[in-house]
Amino acid sequence: MDFGFILINALVLACIYGTLAIGISITWSSVGLINLSYGFIFAASGYGAWLCAQYISTFGAVVLMAGILTGALMGLLVCALAFIPIHDKPSFTVRGMIATLAINLIGTQTLMWYFGPRAKSLPEIFGSWKIHLGHIVLTADKIGNIVASIVVVTLVLQWMRSSRRGLEIRAMMMNPHAAAIVGIGVRSTGFYVMAITGGLAGLAAVLLSQTYYISPFGGLTPMIKGVSIALCGGLGSVRGAAIAAVLLGLNEAITSVALGGQYVLITQFAFIILILLVRPRGIAGILDKAREA
Amino acid sequence: MTNSWRNPLYLWDVKDAVEELPTIDYVSPQEVWDRTRSSDAVMLPVGRLRYYYKWSGHGAALWNRLRYWPTRRRVLNIRGEYNPKTLRSEKTIVDKRPIWWLLGLLALALAPLFVPADLQNTLLTAGATFGIYAAINLCWMLIIGTAGIYSLATYAVVGVSAFGTAYLSIQYGIPWYGLPFIGAMIGLLSGLIIAIPATRLDGFYYALLTLGLNELCRVYAQQSRLFGSSTGGLYGADSYIPQSWDQHSQSLLAYYACFVLMIMALCLYRLINGRRIGRILRMAPEKREAFAEATGVDYRRARIFVFVISSIGLGFIGGFYTAHFRGVAFSIFSFDTVLLGLAMLVIGGLGRAEGAVVGTAIVILLDKILISMGPVRLLLIGVIMLGVVLFLREGLFGVKAQFRAWRDKKKSERRSTRAVKGGEMLPEEVTETKNKDLSYWRRYDKMQRDYLRTLISSELIEEHQRSPLGQHSEPLERLLLYFRRAPMADKYAIAVVEPFKAYRIVALSGHRGVAPRVVEDRIYGSQNEAYHGVFLRRVQDLLES
C-alpha cells in the first residue's frame, strides 16, 4: 500500500463529499429542512451532465455547468415540493424529512425507469495529463476535482459573505424567526438556498463521476458520506463540515492502510459516534453555537 | 312636508309658542328593528354533536363492567348514563377500536378460506410477508412513536439478527425453533450498541446516524465472504416449514405462522405502549422533555428501555425471518427497504398500532400484487407517501380528526362573517366581556341611533333654533331625550364666560375634579344660541357615528 497515493485519494474524496456536506449543513441551518433527497439530486445531475455530453458538447466546462444547473433545478423542485407546502405546518421537521425521502424514492425510481439500470460514464472533463510529484502521480482528474470543488465552495461562501442574498441566508441561519420578522422572505430564501445547495450537489456529482459511474442509485453512498460529515461537523456549521471532511478523509486513508478497505465505514462510524458522544452537536459544538431544532 | 305639528300648549298662552309647525312624516322604528335582527349569513345545517348509538341499559346492569384478569381494565370503554330528558338508562360505546381490531384480525384469520384458487399462492405469500413486515413495523412504531427516537436502523437490527442466525444455523445446524431466541439475543446486543449514542443525541442527528449505520451494515455484509458476498445472501438455514408437505399446505402454514408473529408483536405493542412506560413517555413528547423531567419523569431511561425491548423483539423477528425464508438476502439492508418501511409507517400514521398494520397492508399489496409493473409500483408508493406527508397531519388514521379540525375552522370563520359593525360588539368581544347586558345595550343603542338618524331634517333644526327649550314636536322630543340621556363623559355643556353676554361650549370630563375641556373658541351671545350650538354639535356627532 502506498500511503501517499491513498492520502491523495482520501483528499479528493474529502473535497467532493465535503462539498455535499456543506450543502446539507446550509440547508438544515437556514431553512430547517433535513434534505435526504440528495441521493436523487446527485444522480439526476449526473444524468443531466451525461445528456449534455451526449447531445450538446463534451467540453469540460459545459458538462460541469450542465451538472450544476441540473442540480440547482432539482434543488428548486425539492424546495417547491417539500418545503413550500409544509414549512409552516405542525411537525415540519419530521414531515419535511419524510417528504424528501419520498422524493428520493420517486426520483430514483423515475431515473431507473427512464434511463434503465445500466451505468453511464462521463467524458474526462479535465483532460488526461498527469504530474509526477516525487514518487506520487497526480492525475488530471484528481487535481481538477480538488481545485474545482475548493474554488466553487470558496466562491459560494464568498458570495454568502458579500451579497445581499447571502446576508439574508446568513440571517436565516442565525435565527429564522428574527429573520422573518425583519422582512426576509422565508420562501424566497428557501428557493435560493435549495438552488445553491442543489448546485453544489450537482458539482459533486460531476466531479465524482470522474472516478465512479453514474447510476440511478449511485447517489446514496455520497449522500450518506455527506450526511455523516455534516453530522460529525455539526449540522449548520460550514467550518465544522470542512474540518470533519478532512478528519474523515484522513481516517479513511489510515484505516485502509492499517486495517483494510472493508473496515473504513466501521472506523468512520465509530469515530463519528465518539465525537457525537463527547459533543452532541458535532465539532461545531466546540466552534460556535449551532441552530436548535 | 305634508305633515304638521300642533302645539298643545298654544291655547294656554305660553310665551313664544306657535300654533302649528311643519314637521316630517311619521317614521316607524319597527323597520330598523327588523333590519338589525335579520342576518344574511348562511346558516348551514352542520351539527356540532358527534353521533353515538345509544344502547339501552338495564338499570341494575348499567354500572356492570367486564374486566380482564391481571389488570382492572375494561374490555370495552362503555359509558353508562341516564338520559337527562327521558331519564332512561343508556350505554354508549366510547371507544369502538377494540371491535374493529377484532373484526380485522378475524378477517385476516379467515382470509385463506376465501382466496380465489388461481391467486392463492401469490396472496398467501404476500400475506406471510405482510405478517413479518407488520411485526417489524409495530416494533419500529414503538421506537419512533412511543419512545420518540427517530431510528432508521430497524431493518439493520433485523438484518444483523437474520444474518447471524442464518450463519449459526448453516455452520452449527441449529434447529429452527432456536433461531428466534438466538435472534433475540443478537437483537439485545445490537440494540444496546445502537442505544449508546441515543442517550446523547437529539432526534434528527440520531436519524441521520442510524441511516449511516444501516449503510454500514449493507456494505460490510456485501464485502464479507463470511456472509455470502458471492451468492447475494446466506441461504440454507433450517426452516419450520416441512419440505415434504405440498405447496398449498406449506404456504398456509407460513401464513398462519406469520399471523401469529404479528399477534405477538401487537401484544408487545400493547404491553409497552398501553402500560406505565407508555404513559410516562406520552408525558415527555418532543420539545417538552424539560417539563416531564421537572415533574420527576426519567424519560431518557424509559426511552432507552423501550428501545432495547423493541430491539429484542426485532431480533426475534430476524430469527423468525431466517427460519421463514430459509436464509436472508442483502436487500434487507438496502435503502429502499428502509424507505418502504418508512412509507408503511407514514401512510398509516405515526404513533398508532393500527397505522402500522394498515400501512403495511397497503404497501405490501401495492408492492406484491402489482409486481408486473416493475419500478412504476415503487413510484406509486412514493407518490402516495409524498401525498400523505404533504396533506395529512397524522397519516390515514388521523384523517377523521383533521377533517373535524378543518370543519371547526370553517365554522368559526363563517361565524365571524356574521359580525355587523357599528356600535355593536364583535363575537370575540362579547365572549370576553363579563357584563353580557353591555352587549344587549350596545345593540339597542345602535338601533336607536339608526332610527334617530332618519328623523333629522331641516324643519327639525329650524324648530330647535326657534325655541331650544319648552314643548317640541314628537321627533325633536325623541332626539332631545336621547341626547340628554348620554353618559357624562364627553357630554357637551355650556360654560358662562360673562353672564347674559358670552357663553362657550365645553365638554365634561366625566370625572370628579377634572375640569371640562373647551371644545371650540366660538363665543355665543345668548343662552339660547349656545343651546342650539350644542344641539347642532350633537346632531353632527350622531350623523357621523
Q: What is the pLDDT of residues B339-398, one digit of tens each?
A: 889 999 999 888 888 999 999 999 998 888 787 777 788 888 899 999 998 898 888 998
Strands (E), B413-485: none
Return the domain boundaries, chain B: 54-96, 120-333, 438-544
Q: For chain B, say whether A80 makes contact (Cβ under 8 Å).
A: no
Partners of residue B502 on adjacent β-strands: B498
Inter-chain contact A269–B375, Cβ cutoff 8 Å? no
Cell representation of residue B25: 312624516
Question: What is the spatial distance between Cα B417 and Cα B77, in angstroms, rounded to a whole number?
Answer: 40
| Nearest CB to A276 within list B197, B207, B223 | B197
Which of B495, B485, B478 has its CA nearest to residue B534? B495
Find all residues with CB under 8 Å of B256, minimum gap 6, and list them.
Answer: none
How close A103 gets to chain B, by Cα (Å)?
7
**B402-450 pLDDT tens trace:** 998 998 888 788 777 665 555 577 777 878 888 888 888 888 888 899 9
Helix (H), strand (E) at residue B329 = strand B327-329
Question: What is the spatial distance between Cα A4 and Cα B84, in angstroms, rounded to a whole number?
Answer: 88
**pLDDT tops 90 at residue B495:** yes
Question: What is the spatial distance between Cα A56 and Cα A69, in angstroms, rounded to a whole number?
Answer: 14
**pLDDT tops 60 at residue A289:** no
Q: Is the dihedral of CA B203, B208, B213, B218 positive or negative?
A: positive
Q: What are the angstrom distances between the C-alpha of B125 and each of A131, B116, B118, B363?
A: 60, 14, 13, 14
Return the domain boundaries, chain A: 3-221
Distance of alpha carbon B469 from the chain centroid: 65
Question: What is the spatial distance between Cα B351 and Cα B328, in angstroms, rounded to a whole number?
Answer: 29
Q: If you search the block for the grid coordinates 446523547, which residue do you land on?
A: B200
Find all residues with CB under 8 Å of A136, minimum gap 6, and list them.
Answer: A2, A4, A5, A8
* Cα Rg of chain A, angstroms: 19
**pLDDT tops 90 at residue B268:** yes
Find all residues with CB under 8 Å of A239, minimum gap 6, and list them.
Answer: A233, A284, A287, A288
Distance of alpha carbon B88 from the chain centroid: 34
Residue B44 pLDDT grade (very low, low, confident, very high; cuts 50, 70, 90): low
Cell representation of residue A114: 427512464
Helix (H), strand (E) at residue A193 = helix A186-208
| A258-287 residues touching B, CB cutoff 8 A | 261-262, 265-266, 269, 272-273, 276-277, 280-282
Which of B276, B283, B263, B264 has its CA nearest to residue B73? B276
Partners of residue B93 on adjacent β-strands: B78
Question: What is the spatial distance between Cα B131 and Cα B260, in angstroms, rounded to a whole number?
Answer: 8
Residue B287 pLDDT grade (very low, low, confident, very high; cuts 50, 70, 90): confident
**pLDDT tops 90 at residue B483:** yes
Cell representation of residue B204: 434528527
Winning range, highest mean pLDDT, from A66-70, A122-126, B37-41: A66-70
**pLDDT tops 80 at residue B247:** yes
What is residue A293's predicted lDDT score, i.e. its pLDDT?
44
Question: What is the spatial distance between Cα A117 and Cα B120, in angstroms, rounded to a whole number?
Answer: 32
Q: Are B183 and B322 in contact (CB under 8 A)?
A: yes
Helix (H), strand (E) at residue B137 = helix B120-141
**pLDDT tops 50 at residue A290:** no
| Nearest CB to B379 within list A99, A106, A266 | A106
What is residue B46's predicted lDDT score, i.e. its pLDDT?
58
Cell representation of residue B536: 347642532
What is residue B48's predicted lDDT score, i.e. its pLDDT?
60
Closest residue, chain B, to A86 (C-alpha) = B390
Inter-chain contact A81–B386, Cβ cutoff 8 Å? yes
| B187-216 residues touching A, CB cutoff 8 A | 196-197, 200-205, 207-209, 211-213, 215-216
With DSSP H G I counted as helix, E B as strand and the rest as coil, what are the percentages for chain A, rounded to 5?
75, 5, 25
How close B224 gets to chain A, by Cα (Å)?
8
Question: What is the spatial distance between Cα B138 and Cα B359, in angstroms, rounded to a whole number?
Answer: 11
In B, which residues are within 8 Å of A34 by CB distance? 204, 207-208
Which range (A69-83, B17-31, B56-70, B177-191) has the least confidence? B56-70
**B465-480 pLDDT tens trace:** 998 998 899 999 999 9
Q: Are B352 and B393 in contact (CB under 8 A)?
A: no
The complex scores an ipTM of: 0.86
In A, which residues are within 8 Å of B374 by CB distance? 113
**B305-334 pLDDT tens trace:** 999 999 999 999 999 999 998 888 888 888
Largest CA distance in chain A: 59
Q: Length of chain B, please?
A: 545
Phi, psi angles (nearest 5°) of residue B365: -60, -50
* The residue type at A282: G
**A165-209 pLDDT tens trace:** 888 888 888 888 888 899 888 888 899 999 999 999 999 888 888
| Averaged pLDDT for residues A13-36 | 86
Cell representation of residue A172: 436565516
Closest residue, chain A, to B223 (C-alpha) = A262
| CA end-to-end span of chain B | 27
Does residue B5 or residue A261 have the better pLDDT? B5
Question: What is the spatial distance between Cα A243 and Cα A223, in angstroms, rounded to a whole number?
Answer: 18
User: Helix, strand or coil for residue B82?
Assistant: strand
| Nearest CB to A34 within list B201, B204, B386 | B204
Q: If you search the block for the grid coordinates 421463514, which residue do you land on?
A: B324
**pLDDT tops 80 at residue A43:** yes
| Averaged pLDDT for residues A71-95 | 88
Partners of residue A131 on adjacent β-strands: A138
